[in-house]
DNA sequence: TATTGTTATACTCTATAACTATA
DNA sequence: TATAGTTATAGAGTATAACAATA
């Protein structure tokens, strides 16, 4: 065992996989969800910004955005300052979708949290900022 | 904010995404990796068992396994007790691939760990079993 | 000329339906 | 008949290359 964090890393990967599998029938895929969450949290984005954020090529992101526009969750609007750029924003339906999805996932996660002891829950709350730091590093 | 664990859940998802993106050029995909790791950790598996473990349909898993057999990482062998079943196992190359990949990922993770304080590292080590419990719940 | 976005095209991974061999 | 695996086929999602519009 060359590294004491192997177990931690594996547990993280596994838990995250379980979370990702928590999606409703007929739901949007992982890439689409990421875009909707991003626009919800960071406001209107250009295509390039979204592609970079998800580390995906612009044509790929363009297709993803196209699907979400067709579904009525996003709007594409040409920028007034720079006509090359587009501004991608949420519709009301998109905003509602994000809220609903977040609610459902939080509920799933909270149910699992409920099986822990008070001490374990306390530990989780304290480790949250550390995980955030790791993710952003 | 209806749930105090939203932040934790998001950090987990984000960190895991970063980890998954850590793959070398010409590397195998996520689904293929999951299969190799599974067989490495749990020993020879039937196709159905692998499909169920990854929550994927048998035809889909069959294709994934087929690619890995062609790549020389897995072998398919008919069971002697029940001729309908196949036993899927790692080749030496497959075993080596798993070890190498795990080593690389651990290194990536360890590098990020290095930016933490001793106290934060201690917290992480203690939370590992809790995360495992959550993932397995 | 460089940048932003898009279209054309192909490849991978997934799924459902239908088939084969075995129990 | 039921089960384990496979084959046939199609639908998402991704990529690279080439193009269009604008700066």
Q: Residues B82-91: pLDDT tens digits?
A: 999 999 999 9
For A11, counting Cβ atoms within 10 Å of its Cβ (0-12 exposed, 13-18 middle, 19+ buried), the class is buried
Distance from CA of B81 to the nearest CA of A (A): 33
Q: Is the CB of B56 under 7 A from strand C?
A: yes
A59/B129 Cα distance (integer angstroms): 41
State whether B106 and A16 contact (CB < 8 Å).
Answer: no
Q: What confidence category does residue A2 fall into, taking pLDDT thresholds of 50, 70 and 90?
A: very low
State whether B19 and A9 contact (CB < 8 Å).
Answer: yes
B99 contact A CB<8A: no
Residue A3: what pLDDT?
A: 60
Q: Does the pLDDT value for residue A28 go beyond 90?
A: no
Sorted by sequence, the CB contacts under 8 Å of residue A14 that are 6+ apart come out as B132, B135, B136
Q: Which residues of A89-111 are buried (b: 16+ CB within 10 A; e: fewer)?
A: bbeeebeebbeebbeebbeebee
A102 contact B CB<8A: yes
A62/B35 Cα distance (integer angstroms): 31
Residue B3: what pLDDT?
A: 60
Taking only the tens place, the pLDDT of each residue in A66-107 is 999 988 999 999 999 999 999 999 999 999 999 988 888 888
State the pTM of this model. 0.82
Mean pLDDT of A19-48: 85
Q: Does the pLDDT value for residue A1 go beyond 70?
A: no
Could you say which residues 107-126 of protein chain B have a Cβ atom less than 7 A away from any atom in strand C?
A: none
């Amino acid at each position: 065992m060359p590294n004491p964090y192997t177990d931690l890393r594996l547990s993280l990967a596994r838990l995250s996989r379980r979370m990702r599998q928590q999606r409703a029938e007929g739901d949007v895929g992982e890439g689409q969800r990421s875009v909707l969450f991003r626009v919800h949290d960071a406001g209107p984005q250009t295509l390039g910004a979204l592609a970079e954020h998800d580390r995906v090529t612009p044509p790929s992101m363009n297709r993803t955005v196209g699907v979400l526009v067709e579904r009525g969750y996003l709007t594409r609007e040409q920028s007034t300052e720079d006509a090359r750029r587009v501004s991608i924003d949420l519709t009301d339906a998109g905003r509602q979708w994000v809220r609903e999805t977040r609610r459902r996932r939080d509920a799933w996660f909270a149910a699992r949290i409920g099986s822990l002891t008070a001490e374990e829950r306390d530990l989780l709350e304290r480790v949250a900022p550390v995980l955030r730091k790791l993710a952003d590093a």
